Amino acid sequence: MNEHSFKELIKVAQETKDRIRKAAVEIISQEGFFNTRMQDIADQAGLAVGTIYNYFSSKDKVLAYIFKAEMKRRMEIMSDLKEKDLSTKEFLKEFLNRHFSVLIENPHLGRVLVREKDFSRGEKSGQIKEHMSSLIKMLEKLFQAGVKKGEVKEINTHLMAVYFFGSMQGVIEYSLTQPEMQLLEEAPAFILERIDHIFN
Amino acid sequence: MNEHSFKELIKVAQETKDRIRKAAVEIISQEGFFNTRMQDIADQAGLAVGTIYNYFSSKDKVLAYIFKAEMKRRMEIMSDLKEKDLSTKEFLKEFLNRHFSVLIENPHLGRVLVREKDFSRGEKSGQIKEHMSSLIKMLEKLFQAGVKKGEVKEINTHLMAVYFFGSMQGVIEYSLTQPEMQLLEEAPAFILERIDHIFN
């Protein structure tokens, strides 16, 4: 096999994985993870169930992949923002706007992330805990850097990261499950105002 | 049956229900709701499984009762605080302290509430959504009254209630699942400081 067709194969495989992921988001959002069968995901994706199993050995693996893809996206947002050399406040503003935009564009995804985040105990939930924890660590570093640069007041940066992430998630969870989608539009500015006092 | 023995019967029934509830909290906290069997709850409570079924027709009903009992408790905290004629700020301070105290004393309960809040779709989850929504409504009324009394600045009181509840839940969820129990001690004062700017 030459290099060109190998690249092609990888590209097709990635596209199929994404197609499965998107179909799974739709179905799980409507039916819940517990009630979703691999056959339902296959039907939604317009693929044979055998094809799904070529990519994911179980339903759990599909859900883990949904979280992984979302984590990758947020990491990309973060590193994209880092390159822009923004102040801590501008950084948080941009982060809030982009994070909420993703959910406004795709509430199905938001619902899956919010509802299924504790989908299994033990081993499998490790990845999701990891996800939450690594985002909080990134925010903590941001607040610490802000304190160092004199842009943020002396605060408990760990608690601040937990609080900021928690308030964001709390608003999202309520907006998506009640549902009160319109809150997602007003929330970023409101949340930023609530922490305005931490900036020098 | 005379009135005295009827009252006795009701008392015994209530005590048995509470015993089942407490045993269920222990087991579900460790094993997760999905992995818990009625037999496990019976074993933990030191009762025959038949006795459990006299009180609860299903595992779902046990979990719903755990949430109901917790909702009742928070309603009691709320009405207890209302009688004290506190300022909005003092009210929120007391509410935060009592709410976090319950969790510090009984982290098993906290874990069940946090993890299983979306335990089922459709009908059964209605009660839990209701719970979340009625607490937010109570907080909203509190903020509205605060604005009226001139104690709170003109803000979007609905979004404020969602935000306040969300930030509280977010910190709790992180503290209990990571776990970082010690955050629960510092959190009430920290959260109150974060919203200090809304008070006149």
Q: If pLDDT is split at 50, 70 and 90, which confidence band does B123 have?
A: very low
CA distance linking residue A44 with residue A24, whole number of Å:
8
* Residue B59 CB-half CA count within 13 A: 18
Chain A nearest-CA residue for B179: A129
Counting every residue, how long is chain B?
200
CATH of A1-57, one of 3.30.565.10, 3.40.50.300, 3.30.930.10, 1.10.10.60: 1.10.10.60
Residue A192 in contact with partner chain B when CB distance is under 8 A: no
Question: What single-letter DSSP state applies at residue A58?
Answer: S
Q: What tokens appear for B168 in the block? A: 């509280």
Give me the pLDDT at residue A127, please. 65
Contacts of A175 in chain B (CB under 8 A): 162
Q: Read off the pLDDT of each residue in B4-30 and give the average, rounded to a whole number.
A: 93
Query: How high is the pLDDT of residue A121?
Result: 44
**Confidence category of residue B128, pLDDT binned at 50, 70, 90:** low
CA–CA distances in Å: residue B108 to residues A140, A155, B60, B119: 27, 30, 18, 16
Q: Where in chain B is the domain with CATH 1.10.10.60?
A: 1-57
According to CATH, the topology of domain B62-198 is Tetracycline Repressor; domain 2 (1.10.357)
| Sole residue written with tokens 């005590």 | B15
Q: Does domain A65-198 have CATH number 3.90.110.10?
A: no
Q: Which residues on B lie below 8 Å from A32 (Cβ)?
A: 120-121
**Through-space distance between the first and last CA atoms of chain A, rounded to whole angstroms:** 60
Contact at CB, B163 and A167, closer than 8 angstroms:
yes
Which pLDDT tens digit goes with each residue over B82-101? 899 899 999 999 999 999 99
Contact list, A162 vs chain B (CB under 8 Å): 170-171, 174-175, 183
Specify the 3-state DSSP secondary structure of B152: strand
pLDDT for residue B125 is more than 60: no
Query: A79-83, B39-43, B74-78, B123-127 — which is least confidently predicted?
Result: B123-127
- Tell me if residue A80 falls in helix, strand or coil: helix
A81, B4, B118 from B18: Cα distances, Å? 52, 21, 22
- CA gap A67, A36 in Å, rounded: 17
What pLDDT digit, counting tens, does each position of A128-147 carry? 677 778 888 989 999 999 99
What pLDDT is stored for residue B122 in this prediction? 43
Radius of gyration of chain A (CA): 19
User: Alpha carbon of B148 to those of A39, A86, B177: distances in Å?
Assistant: 56, 39, 39
Task: Give the C-alpha distances (Å, rounded to integers) separating B169 from A83, A121, A181, B9, B115.
Answer: 33, 20, 20, 38, 11
What is the rounded CA–CA span in Å between residue B172 and residue A165? 12
* Percent of chain B at pLDDT exceeding 70: 92
DSSP letters for A113-160: HHHSTT--SGGGGHHHHHHHHHHHHHHHHHHHHHHHTTSB-S--HHHH
Instruction: Please answer whether residues A88 and A149 qualify as being in contact, where contact means their C-beta atoms are separated by less than 8 angstroms.
Output: yes
Sign of CA dihedral B86, B88, B92, B93: negative
Mean pLDDT value across residues B23-38: 93
pLDDT at A108: 92
CA distances from B15 to A34, B8, B9 (A): 34, 11, 10
State residue A126's pLDDT score.
Answer: 66
Q: What pLDDT, on a 0 to 100 scale, did the predictor assign at position A124?
A: 53
Position B120 pLDDT exceeds 90:
no
Residue of B nearest to A167 (CA): B167
| Averaged pLDDT, B171-195 | 91
Q: Which residues pair with A199 in a beta bridge?
A: A152
* Nearest CA distance, A195 vs chain B (angstrom): 7
**Structure-token match 């799974």, residue found:** A24
Mean pLDDT of B142-156: 96
Q: A121, A145, A141: which is closest to A133 by C-alpha?
A: A141
Q: What percent of chain B has pLDDT over 90?
A: 61
**Confidence at residue A122, expressed as pLDDT on a 0 to 100 scale:** 43
B168 neighbourhood in chain A, CB within 8 Å: 166, 170
Specify whether the CB–CB gap between B162 and A183 falls below 8 A: yes
Identity of the residue numbered A73: R
Distance in angstroms (rounded) separating the CA atoms of residues A68 and A74: 10
Residues of chain A with pLDDT under 50: 120-123
pLDDT, residue A178, reads 81
